[in-house]
Structure 1
């Protein structure tokens, strides 16, 4: 029997292009070639689909040179729909080659145009199976404002916040500052629709608010200002990959800040000092159980599909959900794989779990 063909899709137009490309390096290195035929498809920063080399080292994370998808002249031609699943590539010289039928897409894309439901809707239209979140949960969780509304409506505790549009900030900065000050210090300012801590600032004094808002508005015209929660930063990995099977939660991990103000881009991906990623977290068994149960509740509150990472603050008053990520960091050193590895699953097996779940959903 032929091996299922998996199109590993990465890169993209968002500010998280390099993170997606680095994730692809880890996935291409670990995916089980005995089980799957792999077709690497990159998306350039301009949104062009290109056929990539099957070379994991090309996309290794390097602080001096972040990986990216460049336009190599090829153009990937997706199936035409109507039951057709033939993938083709037009080479730089204009010749079109057949790549065979694609059985499933593994879209390891972060941010807008990849993690927000748009690419998921495209594949739904073509009737191509894909791993990970669907249209609704991807769109909800990409927009932190609506994610909080959905969670709050389901009784999941979230941190207090105000949402500010760029137009209001321009027209009524005094009112925005007054709303922000009602949240207390410290506060966090973040774009509503970005990830990997891009555009996020911690505000320790209100004199820092204007600069934090301008940084966030550079990423998105909708920004959240949130109350800073004093608690341990705990994350749990969720798998809902296979239809008909119960949603599962991993052992939780913890982000331990030593000298860093918060878990920013450098700390997450570039090996910056001042932060430790610990998994499993040192927590009492009953707290682990509560985190797992609340993580599953949050996942179900947004109609989660496939996978998610749920981020918490564990405070003396209880658990608070910070956010859900429907395509969390998936490099071998990222928290999502680390939590499942600590729970007894290997990195290659985790990739296979996502693929097999997508194939089962059809």
Structure 2
């Protein structure tokens, strides 16, 4: 049987470059497992921090070592892809953050007319943009925390407007609240604020990352997550819970061992667990996701209320990441999960061609 050539695409230009390498290493190990090695051939493609694509020995070396190329030599042509890219049967992009899960690389892969794992342009872009995501959730009738969307121009351009904007935020949302760039992942640029001084500083900082900013009301709640797998008939996993001692689930807490604990399955009333699973599937459909997604929720235990927080259409994929762990507990071990995602990519491509 001829093996399918899987283009494992990792690295990228976002601040989550190193996380992407870790995810790619885990996926490569899964593709090399006994049940997959006879079906798939791995073709690694590493995107340097400057955007240049590397294949062959360089990509394999990064994949093997887990270490990014630091200060790469000036690239002669960012738009010249390695010749091996023409031989890929199915792409497995595992690029987290901007230029990876925001629809840009998905648009490029769509132009290549080769199937790829995960959501397309619309699902990826909507899932990445926190403002667009919340609009889609609202249209689907999914309950959320109160929020306000603002622009960089409102924060920076007019000193007369800025104080009024802060007045509105304080009146509409109160403290504490969270200030976030609309299009960054891994909690980069996010701040929890409790005063006018902190709010002004957080808005200024968020505006340095993105021209669109979202401010969300704080809520006292448990943070729970559900993984989704599938295309037109997706399935929801068991529910997991994240606990931590830091002020909020920031970048350091997410990626430093021992600072956060994952509990799978989360101890929840059955009715609440089923509600979260149903809402996860609704969110998956609302943004037109495909293949995989992790959907995050707030469970307000004092009232029994479940609020959707966000959807991540390309979640972390290391062996210890929440997404594969949720499916592992749900009866889909890591190698099988990777195999199913590739098959879902091929299935979606076949349906699209009809």
Same fold (TM over 0.5): yes
Summarize deviations over 1:282-332 as a string: whole Å, max 9, x none. Answer: 112221111100100111111111111110001125111110011011111
TM-score if structure 1 supplies the norm length? 0.87
Q: How does 1:1-362 map to 2 (within 5 A)?
A: 1-31=1-31, 32-51=36-55, 52-53=59-60, 56-59=63-66, 67=68, 71=72, 78=81, 88-89=83-84, 101-170=87-156, 171=158, 172-182=161-171, 183-241=173-231, 246-257=233-244, 259-273=245-259, 275-315=260-300, 316-362=303-349
Aligned length: 334
How far the C-alpha of 1:54 sits from its partner, in A, is 5.8
List per-residue Cα deviations over 1:318-349 (Å, max 9, x = no partner).
11111001101111111111111111111111
Contact 1:103/1:359 (CA < 8 Å) preserved in 2?
no
Q: Structure 1: 5+ residue runs without aligned partners?
A: 61-66, 79-86, 90-98
Partner deviation per Cα, 1:102-147 (whole Å, 9 max, x = no partner): 1100010111211111111111112110000111111111110011
CA contact (8 A) 2:21 2:63 kept: no
CA separation in 2, counterparts of 1:188 and 1:16?
21
1:211-264 Cα offsets, whole Å, 9 max, x none, are: 2223322321211110012111000001124x5xx210000100112x211111
Distance of aligned partners of 1:22 and 1:218 in 2 relative to their CA distance in 1, 3 Å threshold = farther
Partner Cα distance (1:2, 1:10) in 2: 25
Q: 1:181 to 1:272 in 2, by over 3 A?
A: farther
Could you tell me which runs of 5 or more consecutive residues in structure 2 were left unpaired when the two chains were aligned: 350-354
1:25/1:58 contact within 8 Å kept: no
Conserved 8 A contact 2:62-2:69: no
Per the alignment, do residues 69 and 113 of structure 1 end up closer, same or farther by CA in structure 2, a change over 3 Å counting?
farther
Q: Distance in 2 between matches of 1:342 and 1:264?
A: 25
Tell me how far apart the structure 1 counterparts of residues 165 and 264 of structure 2 sit (CA, whole Å): 39
- Greater helix fraction, Structure 1 or Structure 2: 2
**In structure 1, C-alpha distance between the alignment counterparts of 2:97 and 2:214, rounded to whole Å:** 16
Structure 1 distance, partners of 2:227, 2:189, is 24
- Tell me if structure 2 keeps the 8 A contact 1:133–1:305: yes
Q: Distance in 2 between matches of 1:71 and 1:164?
A: 37
Equivalents in 2 of 1:247, 1:212: separation in Å? 38
Alpha-carbon distance between aligned partners in 1 of 2:296 and 2:249, rounded to the nearest angstrom:
12
Separation (CA, whole Å) in 1 of partners of 2:273 and 2:227 = 12
TM-score by length of 2: 0.89
Query: Secondary structure of the equivalent of 2:37?
Result: coil
